Chain A
Amino acid sequence: MHDTSPSFQCSQLPARSGIGLKVEHRKDIIDQKPDLGFVEIHAENYMGEGGAPHRFLEEMAARYPLSIHGVGLSIGGAGPLDKEHLARLKRLLERYRPASFSEHLAWSTHQEQFLNDLLPLPYTEATLDRVASHVDEVQQTLGRQMLLENPSTYLLFEESTIEETDFLGRIAERTGCGLLFDVNNVMVTCTNHGLDPMAYIDRFPVQFVGEIHLAGHEEIEDDAGQRVLVDTHDRHVSPDVFGLYRHALSRLGPVATLIEWDNDVPPFETLFAEARMADAIMADFAGMEAEAAQ
């Protein structure tokens, strides 16, 4: 079977590992010139008018392919998108011309309140219409394709009628957006809802994936003593998640893979070692084409 959207371009990022860029690592990166596939930033941290953040980003964008990852657009929100924020995003993308732009299937803003978190939404025909129209608006305004990321969730909505994997696949089909496949979020979400993460990966519409995220999570217990995983980005990628990553690559082939470590940021060497681990795993799948393209 041929893909129905032959013009589909996942992202311009190389099929290599990259790291979430932290200003703490500036000196290490400049001194050591590490061989990184790409670097990724959170868009909102670079929306100040000038000064050091922009100097840093200019330096890094001159050295490595850049991925800009938004955390504040609230694409899954019930209200309209924040036009002012979208305009800021457009200016940032025009200035730095990143190889990829991505955002989340989540909401974070309600009216005038920004909650600084990626909050869940029910998966229904109505929310699917709304998310698709938001993604259309983003892509039209920015004049480029975006990647939409699968979330980490802790509770389910009784109102939901659509599987998360189907929801994401239908958004991608309707809008032409790509998907950012967060394998740690797969582990977190599936564990929290008693689902098999391998089966989730098997169901995932991999033909749309332009990037993978890997990160660390924390383990807690809920009211009933059940194991709950929390998406914390504050530690090593767990061996389980690397195992799932292998499974994802067996369907996808090599694809740009980010190590996210946003809290309790480690020394650069620790983060870089994690990225090299992803590269080593990816090497096992070299020469393999994505399943959907066969």
Chain B
Amino acid sequence: MTQAAQTTCAETEFLACLPAESQVIPADMKTADGRADGRRFAIYRNNLRSSLSRALEQRYPVTRRLVGDEFFAFVTAQFTVQHRPTSPLMFRYGEAFPSFLGRIESAGHLAYLPEVARLEWLLGESYHAADASVLQIADLQSLDLSDVDAISKIAMHPAGRLLSSSHPVGSIWVAHQSENVKPLTKGGAEQVLLTRPEETVLLTLLSEAEMVFASAMSGGKTLEDAAMLAFDTDASFDFGATLLRLTEAGALTQNS
């Protein structure tokens, strides 16, 4: 075996020893006085586990508040063993966590939990998304609605994100931004729009028809086609008011 191949094996062996339940450490790793030392190797196990758990705590703070620190730690311990990061960009770690929560049986009574987590994931996506000019009310006012070319350049802003849920995920998230959480007065489905007009990500609740419109815009449809789809959903869909709402939220951009 060549030396380079030996080192590849060394990495494989190191990885095999990293799981918390592993009782062995790499055979080649010793203290200066020649001992295999489990507590020393455990530093690497702890670093991995605690840094991944910390990344999830930072990414899913409301989810954590909803289940409590202890249960969150229990769930993240399982998740981090099954899902290691695949990129050095740690802000991309944990995308599978919401669906993982959905499969945890002991969280079964919290049906909204995976969807609140999904909302938190999207918040992070919006936060890091590409910059683009934000369509302003003034831009809208100066827009000639018969100018097909100008209209066709209006699109969803890169930081815009949408989530339709059968639970009041937006209201739950908002309620958990303050120290004292007031109980929600009503349940039911919610459609959430996330926007980033400046640096902070904002949350807006949309009607079903508005959601259809925004989703169509997000999927690359033109204003006109998106409006048609929204009318199909709800004949009372107010195109002008929706355009104004989305613009006020900072959801749109004008491509050059």
Q: Which residues of A line the B interface, CB within 8 A? A: 44-45, 47-55, 71-74, 77-79, 82, 85, 107-110, 112-117, 119, 121-122, 124-127, 130, 154-159, 192-195, 220-224, 226, 228, 230
Contacts and interface: CB of A to CB of B under 8 A. Distances in A.
Contact of B40 (A74, A155, A195): A155
Give the bracket for the number of chain B residues in contact with chain A.
Answer: 35 or more
Contact of B91 (A45, A79, A226): A45
A79 B8 contact: yes
A78 B1 CA distance: 15
A116 B52 contact: yes
A155 B39 contact: no
A126 B199 contact: no
A108 B44 CA distance: 11
Contacts of A52: 127, 199-200
Q: Which of A74, A115, A195, A230 lies at the interface centre, i.e. has the most chain B CB atoms within 10 A of its CB?
A: A115
A223 B35 contact: yes
A155 B31 CA distance: 5
B28 interface: yes
Interface string B200-237: 10000000000000000000000000000000000000
Contact of A49 (B18, B25, B47, B128): B128
Contact of B51 (A78, A117, A127): A117
B199 A156 contact: no
Given A45-B91, A155-B30, A155-B40, A117 B48 contact: yes
A78 B43 contact: no
Contact of A157 (B8, B28, B33, B84): B28
Contacts of A222: 31, 37, 39-40
Contacts of A158: 28-30
A71 B43 contact: no
B15 interface: yes
Given A82-B88, A155-B31, 20 more contacts: A44-B88, A44-B89, A47-B89, A49-B158, A50-B132, A51-B128, A51-B159, A112-B86, A113-B84, A113-B86, A114-B88, A116-B85, A116-B88, A126-B6, A154-B41, A155-B30, A156-B32, A158-B30, A194-B33, A230-B43
A114 B87 contact: yes
B181 interface: no
B32 A157 contact: no
B38 A78 contact: no
A220 B43 CA distance: 10
B3 A155 contact: no
B40 A228 contact: yes
A127 B48 contact: no
Contact of A71 (B15, B88, B128): B88
A81 B30 CA distance: 28
B90 A44 contact: yes
Interface string B109-134: 00000000000000000111111100
A270 to B, nearest CB: 21
B44 A51 contact: no
Contacts of A226: 31
A274 B47 CA distance: 25
A109 B90 CA distance: 13
B11 interface: yes
Nearest to B126: A51
A71 to B, nearest CB: 7
A47 B87 CA distance: 11
Contact of A51 (B30, B38, B48, B129): B129
- In the A-B complex, the 7 residue pairs with the smallest Cβ-Cβ separation, listed nearest first, are A72-B88, A48-B128, A126-B3, A50-B131, A52-B199, A49-B130, A155-B29
A78 B11 contact: yes
28 contacts: A45-B91, A48-B127, A49-B131, A50-B131, A51-B127, A52-B199, A52-B200, A54-B131, A55-B199, A72-B89, A77-B11, A78-B11, A109-B88, A113-B84, A114-B85, A116-B55, A116-B88, A117-B48, A126-B2, A126-B7, A155-B25, A155-B37, A155-B40, A156-B31, A158-B29, A223-B37, A223-B40, A230-B43
A50 to B, nearest CB: 4
Nearest to B200: A52
Nearest to B196: A51
A50 B52 contact: no
A53 B2 CA distance: 44
